[in-house]
Amino acid sequence: MKIKVGIGYDIHRLVTGRKLIFGGVTIDFHKGLIGHSDADVLIHAIADALLGALGLPNIGQVFPDAEIWTQDLDSKKILKYAHGMVDKMGYKISNVDIVIIAQEPKLSPYFDKIRESIASILLIDGGDIGLKATTHEGLGSIGSGEAIASFVSTILISDK
């Protein structure tokens, strides 16, 4: 059995006038994340963890923010691409472990929907997704409510 480990990270600024999309789920909040795509920091971090485990280019290289075709891109398409590469290279996702860092909003009420959304895209059981959130204790841009970040680790396995 072959095992690969990947780590992903993403951060985006919060602004008024945008929807907050997290893990493919729209969160009821007065601000949203700004980015060239829909700025879903959770999905971006998961996709980078999967691609990194495979030794492939990160999402910024595959979906460049200087391209018109990536403007307002639904990040679920990015995650589907990364999952497709996992399949193409003969691996399966063993687990995904997620840490969300946000001063606000409180995301735990959305955990079931977020887990379900990610599991449906990755075709894995929701029990294989660890999901937790923490604040930044008022420190820095995250702690002052200016940004949200996500860290993700994943393990891929293959019978090869």
Q: Long-range contacts of range 65-71, CB-CB < 8 Å, 24 or more positions apart?
A: 65/35, 65/36, 65/37, 70/36, 70/37, 71/36, 71/37
Domain spanning 2-158, CATH architecture: 2-Layer Sandwich (3.30)
Alpha helices in the chain (DSSP H): 41-53, 59-62, 75-88, 111-122, 140-143
pLDDT for the residue numbered 8: 97
Question: Has residue 35 got a pLDDT over 80?
Answer: yes
pTM (whole model) above 0.85: yes
Which percentage of the chain shows pLDDT scores above 70? 99
Sorted by where each begins, the domain ranges of the chain are: 2-158
Distance CA 50, CA 96 (A): 9
Q: Is 29 helix (H, G, I), strand (E, B) or coil?
A: coil
Residue 106 backbone phi and psi in degrees, to 5: -75, 120
Per-residue confidence at 151, pLDDT binned at 50, 70, 90? very high
Distance CA 41, CA 102 (A): 11
Average pLDDT (106-125) is: 96
